[in-house]
Chains A and B, each alone.
Chain A
């Protein structure tokens, strides 16, 4: 648990208010216990998991179970399970650290996340006392392994359109389930499936199905592009008999479980990407130092330095977003009285509060991951295309992250969708903020005071990007009103602006907090990283805002808006090339990613 208490912030409020650096959680705020947990998890991955990659990629049986059980002995699997059910009952920061470390091997991260995350959390948060007592102690030791089975062949993104049905048996003791769930991680060995079916064909509900219930079975292993060390199969329910006690939550309210659990899943996915990108980047740095062409180590070529610096900046960014968000979630969770009967409801509310941030992290970090594995393959050249080097596998393993836990398209729509909904409900004063910006552009521009403090230019850019977003969103909503949800391109572009703002701000606040604590001279490279991030984001923000405005406005109106946009995005460019060179030089010296 963090030593200092952070202020409770509302989800999404970062768009309209300034956050002070003291109020964000950063990896530098880890306690001694957090650091030890990180070390244990890292050692576990290095000593137990990494040596078995080849066997796992070859689908040798029993290894996933074996590793989960070993991880359970150390307490990694049960970190989130309350103590009275055999878990460690740790804070959100600790479980995030564990998730981060599992990402060192994509297949294991997937297996682990499906078991300890989306497979176990539904029982922790929605289970009855009996359900918890029966399942959690066995899941804590990984004696039983869990899976989460929502998707069907014909309902992926549109999960609520599931065709699986549940009918109460004549004696009222069982629900009889019929249907097939597709792409179910851990299906090869899971004992417990959290699955969904429509009672009487309409009431979407959640069930705990055990592997050996009559009528439950699994299909053959899928042949996948990546994460080949994980198990993915169908779950077949043919007149499966599920005792009525195994209904999870309320009949007809399964969507609450499905969506709330996905928020966790998205966030944890983003967290586990962080160690994957550190690993791949370190491999690439090492290779670039060793590989010589034209009489030089390739790390001494500007084109390669550009790549490595960009990779490092993105790692720092991905990590800053993850820990800032978990800091918010943890603060909200700690304000809840765990002994109150309403605790579960409050916990779910807390998670839902940060659903926007969870989706941002899912999209941003899965794309950062793909960017980095792609550049790593490129740095390896032909050898990157060979199975002899781990980057080839990392490249394939990374790709799934943009698809599962809600595709990035769906998550982009959700980000803007949720924000607009909160604005309409008056939960988040976005409308007022947008109105202020629209008024501001009609008034004379006030002369901005030039500030010369460290990173003040970047802070100004950030503020202006927020204004740009509010301008674009305000204009788009005014134009489309109720039909805005049909404007997917506009909503996705707006989402990109939201993501860029959260990314820039999380990095900036982390570095400002660091400067206050350790002094600017200790953070020279991190400061350069923020500058690169902010100054590269600005033109992208401008370009996307322009596309939105051009799509929703025309004539004089458009001209006024574009003039305002020009004002918001005015900036003297920095020499990003020299900043990247400085970072790359240090990466070369250190031989590894060192920013955090």
Chain B
């Protein structure tokens, strides 16, 4: 099995964001970055698959030098080697450009499975994995909760999360792209030995030119999404008095909370489906 795990670096969860001078993005200065949460679960799934069927896990990250931290922590967790796609021209790229670059980078590498996280925590588009599958002409499954690859490595049975606590089990042929939901496994620690061994593992660096991509295909020029404005949501505070008996009031309250998606702070599968729901509809 040749397995790829895509890791994105995103600002730490409790970061204090500032809008940049162009009012179309976030100011990166002063931010501390970490590996996107669901990508860590994706990597864990990749490592488990390798442990089961043998083979090799490669981690890939696209971004400036700071993403080496993410790559190295992936290697420290147990990946065998890494690809680092880096070029100033990548700045401002959307999911389409990123997926295009990844597709180019791995076109000749015979991967059997690609794991990505379900979505990144910064932009939450949840598109990179899907577009990547489309560009490669592979099958894909999103919001994956469970992965079972057949012994012969030809098929995968995956459990997908749907709305309202519903799940779906599908069987898809490999090679495939699977976008992994957060919380589906317990990611291993980077052990001290793993950390020291990571130093000796290979990291291949690829620039836009290496990928045969022109500036016009990259950054905001190559992107299909156009960021017009970035702003903080306005805070509106309003007080509502719920009428009725305590039981009735409690029921109304629960309904309102669900409706207004106040549970989105909860770090559960529910949160992600809510976030997704918000994005999709």
Contact = CB atoms under 8 A, between A and B. Distances in A.
A37 interface: yes
Interface string B185-202: 000011111111011000
Given A33-B199, A36-B76, A590-B16, A75 B69 contact: no
Contacts of A74: 189, 191-192
Contacts of A589: 16
A94 B16 contact: no
Interface in A366-405: none
A75 B192 contact: yes
User: B69, B189, B196: which has the most chain A beta carbons within 10 Å?
Assistant: B189
B8 interface: no
Interface stretch (A39-47, A167-175, A326-334, A561-569): A39-47
A90 interface: yes
A311 B193 CA distance: 35
B73 interface: yes
Given A33-B195, A33-B199, A40 B72 contact: no
A76 interface: yes
A32 interface: yes
Contacts of B190: 36, 39-40
Contacts of B68: 32
A88 B189 contact: no
Contacts of B198: 33, 36
A104 interface: no
Given A33-B199, A590-B16, A75 B72 contact: no
Given A32-B72, A590-B16, A37 B195 contact: yes
Nearest to A31: B199
B192 A32 contact: no
B191 A33 contact: no
Contacts of B192: 37, 40, 74-76, 78-79, 88, 90, 94
Interface residues of A, number: 20
B189 A32 contact: no
Instruction: Give chain B's interface secondary structure class.
Output: helix
A590 B146 CA distance: 39
A61 interface: no
Contacts of A43: 189
Instruction: Give chain A's interface secondary structure class.
Output: helix
Contacts of B73: 36, 39
A33 B197 CA distance: 10
Interface string B247-272: 00000000000000000000000000
A26 to B, nearest CB: 18
B221 to A, nearest CB: 33
Interface in A74-119: 74-76, 78-79, 88, 90, 94
A202 interface: no
A73 B188 CA distance: 11
Contacts of B16: 589-590
Interface string B51-73: 00000000000000000110011
A283 B195 CA distance: 31
Interface in A28-69: 32-33, 35-37, 39-40, 43-44
A590 B32 CA distance: 13
B72 A44 contact: no
Nearest to A35: B69
A357 B79 CA distance: 41
Nearest to A522: B30
A286 to B, nearest CB: 12
A94 B191 CA distance: 13
Interface in B74-125: 76
Interface in B197-240: 198-199
Nearest to B14: A591
A252 B64 CA distance: 60
A75 B193 CA distance: 7
B199 to A, nearest CB: 7
B70 to A, nearest CB: 11
Nearest to B187: A43
A589 B18 CA distance: 13
Given A88-B196, A90-B196, A590-B16, A36 B72 contact: yes
A75 B72 CA distance: 18
B16 to A, nearest CB: 7
A90 B193 CA distance: 9
A32 B69 contact: yes
Nearest to B190: A40
A90 B195 CA distance: 11
Nearest to A589: B16
User: B69, B190, B198: which has the most chain A beta carbons within 10 Å?
Assistant: B190
Contacts of B199: 33
A590 B16 CA distance: 8
B33 to A, nearest CB: 12
A32 B70 CA distance: 10
B196 A33 contact: yes
Contacts of A73: 191
Interface string A1-45: 000000000000000000000000000000011011101100110
A39 B77 CA distance: 12
10 contacts: A32-B68, A33-B196, A33-B199, A35-B69, A37-B195, A39-B190, A40-B195, A43-B189, A44-B189, A78-B192
Interface of B: 16, 68-69, 72-73, 76, 189-196, 198-199
Q: Which 4 A-B pairs have the closest CB atoms?
A: A75-B192, A88-B192, A75-B191, A36-B195
Interface of A: 32-33, 35-37, 39-40, 43-44, 73-76, 78-79, 88, 90, 94, 589-590
Given A88-B196, A90-B192, 10 more contacts: A32-B68, A33-B195, A33-B198, A37-B195, A39-B190, A40-B189, A40-B192, A75-B192, A75-B194, A78-B192
